[in-house]
Amino acid sequence: MDTDVLRDILEKVKEGRVAVDEGMALLKSHFYLDVGCAKIDTHREWRVGYPEVIFCSGKTVEQVKAIVKAMLEREANILATRASEDLFEEIRKICPAAVYSSLARAFTIKRKALEVSSGYIALVTAGTSDLPVAEEAAVTAELFGNRVERIVDVGVAGIHRLFYNLEAIRGARVVIVVAGMEGALPSVVGGLVDKPVIAVPTSVGYGASFNGLSALLAMLNSCASGVCVVNIDNGYGAGYLAGMINRL
């Protein structure tokens, strides 16, 4: 796929160190693990720096178990999101080391320690009801070796709460802001810090919030610069991206 690998194969084949058919097989075996219902992207860690993550929603218990089992044969840390408590109980049977966060609805299996980042991610939430999404972000970022500072319930209706926590936010290398309803907090934070702001709209709200659409649109239209947006309730995506930026 990528020219480095291409060149490497060419070199080896040219020097006769590797036969043509062997070269073909070699390439394939490095790239994914076929478990029938899924092709686990084992090449991913080498390619983008982190192992594949299991999105449990829409998968049967048997499917998730098959994937976890296959991944356990390798050394990478394992993260599974949108996992019900029932599903976790099944997983714990095959891997007692698995740890569940009921707030984040995620489980992790830590196989190797990552060096913790020196810089940290500020994780800001507008309200108490946004905590599950925020915690999914925290679990994700922490598993990938990031330090996370949580600043809870500082939404714009009582904006002084934000100002009294500004120092902690400004000290971070990257900021995640989680908010539902009118989704105004990322704009205010974006206007006050000189770091990237990752905005996460949540489906918290009712009526014309249309399950997070209102917050999503508001964040996309932020008049503050340096703000980007991920999908509604996508704590995982925000945690992953923040970790990537934090470790640059």
Q: From the CB of residue 90, how many other CB atoms can be counted at a distance below 10 Å?
A: 15
**105 near 83, Cβ under 8 Å?**
yes
Q: Which is nearer to a second copy, 72 or 244 (CB)?
A: 244
Q: Which whole-number Å values give the CA distances from 42 to 1, 62, 228, in the listed order?
A: 15, 20, 29
The footprint of a second copy on this chain (CB under 8 A) covers a number of residues equal to 114
- Which DSSP letter does residue 209 get? G
Q: Scan residues 147-166 and list those touching a second copy (CB under 8 A).
A: 152-161, 163-164, 166
Q: What Cα–Cα distance (Å) separates residue 27 from each residue in 5, 13, 21, 23, 76?
A: 9, 12, 10, 6, 20
Q: Which stretch binds a second copy (CB under 8 A): 69-77, 89-97, 108-116, 146-154?
A: 146-154
- Pick 83 or 229: Cβ nearer a second copy: 229
The distance of closest approach from Cβ of residue 33 to a second copy in the complex, given in angstroms and rounded to an integer, is 10
Choices 68-76, 88-96, 109-117, 125-133; region in contact with a second copy by CB under 8 A: 125-133
Q: How far is the CB of 76 from a second copy (least distance, A)?
A: 14
Task: Residue 234: name the closest of 130, 97, 84 by CA.
Answer: 130
Relative to beta strand 120-125, strand 147-151 is parallel
Tell me the window of 69-77, 87-95, 105-113, 127-135 that interacts with a second copy (CB under 8 A): 127-135
CB 168 within 8 A of CB 205: no
| Of the candidate residues 43, 65, 111, 147, the single one contacting a second copy (CB under 8 A) | 43
Q: Under 8 Å CB-to-CB from 208, ≥6 apart: which residues?
A: 214
* DSSP structural state of residue 86: H
Does residue 91 touch a second copy according to CB under 8 A?
no
Find the part of the chain contacting a second copy (CB under 8 A) among 69-77, 89-97, 105-113, 216-224.
Answer: 216-224
Q: Which of residues 184-203 bind a second copy (CB under 8 A)?
A: 184, 187-188, 190-196, 198, 201, 203
CB of 153 to a second copy, least distance (A): 4
Mind giving me the DSSP string for 160-186? HHHHTTHHHHHTSSEEEEEE-TT--HH
145 is an interface residue for a second copy by CB under 8 A: no
CB of 173 to a second copy, least distance (A): 6
